[in-house]
Amino acid sequence: MRVGIIALLHESNTFISRPTTLEHFREHLLLTGEAIREQLAGTQHEIGGFFEGLAGAGIGAVPIFAARAVPYGPIEAGAFETLIETMFRELSAAGHLDGILVAPHGATVSELFPDADGHWLTELRKRVGPKVPIIGTLDPHANLSAAMVNATDALIAYRTNPHLDQRERGVEAARLMSATLLGEVRPTQAAAMPPLAINIERQCTSEPHMRALYALADEQLDSEGVLSNSILLGFPYADVAEMGSATIVVTDNDPDLAQQMVDQLGRFMWEHREDYVGRLISIDEALDQAAKLDGPICLLDMGDNVGGGSPGDGTFLANAIDERMMPHTFVCLCDPECVLQAAMRNVGEWVALRVGGKTDDLHGKPLGCRFTVLGFSNGTFSESEVRHGGFTHYDQGATAIVRSDNGLTVMLTSKRMPPFSLQQLISCGVDPMQFRILVAKGVNAPIAAYAPVCRHFIRVNTPGCTSADMTSLRFEHRRRPMFPFE
């Protein structure tokens, strides 16, 4: 038997004015054929799990198409068209397939297709017909649509945030595909979409308010006939009709049981909706708290969450820290212009820079002061541990390390880089243990990387296109009424 592998992953933030282009995919991941196996089979990504699970079942894996870009604005119409054309051209060339494993993100938006994942999955179903099983994974930040559910036999979301079980879920999807092809099971799925949005600040799955929901999901898995279930936390930075939280249950040819179980999960989410309202801490409150704690302390910059699509050059925290003259602090800013300016100096020399705050007016003003140049790097690094995102090799472009006269160390990168790995610092000669405060531009994803060195984490409600205050975002297309908005 032969099973194809197709992946198109992008988390699209519609509150960003700049679109995601084809070049963004080329910079990160745009592969066809055997290059997918070569680059991803050994990773912690779900695609790595696909290969492992199929090999364990004695099924031939046929890698077809895999694309991913760092979260940013909606995908340009022409870029999305090119991606889809490439996907289906490679599918046509793949020959006979008994099944297809897919890895959509679930929160992809293109300029022409708000439900981009539902669009390409529906087109895939049309091309392969109703009898070829399509089973896939989803990021729990998916905004689930009826089109995604109707086009597939089963969808399985990661169960952790930070996402540390991606490979496991890929293996699970591959094993379900094997059981389906062997006639051992017949997956039937149902979805529930209660009218609520879980605040991003409340989406860490290891915290008490989320553990109860996942405990119920785990209990359901012990029920006869239940093959899988999933909780979709949702992605609040996509202004689409599907925005919000959802649940999925997959049973063995028992649609009534699937509906019963998925409704139970949906009711639990709704009944506990107050637990999912954000507990927001201002910049001043966060810095006051940090001043009283033993370090190292990680300040999570929620308004400039690179993993949620932000530009990575937000300066609200950097400016506040510099104004308070808090020494032994660290922040990373994407600023290719300042990287070039710093590169004109030697290590140990000083340079006047205006760092960050260059993308737009949403993320603060540039921090202008005198900096001492500490070092340079080509910005490539690798991560051997299981970390959010599942990837092992990274490239943030030419990088400069500088320190302000007030003691703020700034890593300046040429490309946006989510803080998913401490190797981002260590590879550049920066020891995270030397700092009392480290600013990480994220909400939950950086915790996996920074937990080994940080004693405390404080989520900071900074302004920006990924503000944790959902009511500050101007939605035009979301469902109404929806909690907590109405």
What is the pTM assigned to this prediction?
Answer: 0.96
What are the tokens at 160? 């952790």
Statement: residue 17 has pLDDT above 90? no
Q: What is the DSSP letter of 465?
A: T
Burial 4-32, CB ≥16 within 10 A → b, else e: bbbbbbbbbbbbbeebbbbebbeebbbbb
Q: What is the DSSP letter of 427?
A: T
Statement: residue 362 has pLDDT above 90? no
What are the tokens at 442? 């994220």
Statement: residue 324 has pLDDT above 90? yes
* Strand-strand pairing, 154-157 and 367-377: unpaired
Tens of pLDDT along 189-222? 999 999 999 999 999 999 999 999 999 999 999 9
Region 327-336: what's the mean pLDDT? 97
What are the tokens at 393? 């090799």
Statement: residue 360 has pLDDT above 90? no
Q: What percent of the chain has pLDDT over 90?
A: 98
pLDDT for 418:
96
Tens of pLDDT along 215-246? 999 999 999 999 999 999 999 999 999 999 99
* Strand-strand pairing, 456-460 and 367-377: unpaired
Does the bond joining 162 to the residue before it have cis omega, within 30 degrees of 0?
yes
pLDDT for 345:
97
Region 469-482: what's the mean pLDDT? 95
Tens of pLDDT along 64-83? 999 999 999 999 999 999 99
Angle at which helices 116-128 and 77-93 cross, to 10°: 20
Region 242-268: what's the mean pLDDT? 98
Residues 6+ apart with CB under 8 A from 43: 167, 390, 391, 392
Region 254-269: what's the mean pLDDT? 98
Q: What is the DSSP letter of 76?
A: P
Q: Which of 263, 272, 267, 276 is nearest to 229 (CA)?
A: 263
Q: Could you tell me where the DSSP H helices lie in 343-471?
A: 423-426, 445-450
Angle (CA) 37-38-43 rounded to 5° is: 80
Statement: residue 361 has pLDDT above 90? no
The pLDDT mean for the chain works out to 97
Rounded distance, CA 132 to CA 134, Å?
6
Instruction: Give residue 391's pLDDT band: very low, low, confident or very high (50, 70, 90).
Output: confident
Instruction: Give residue 432's pLDDT band: very low, low, confident or very high (50, 70, 90).
Output: very high
CA 211 to chain CA centroid, Å, is 20
pLDDT for 367:
96
* Strand-strand pairing, 246-252 and 226-232: antiparallel
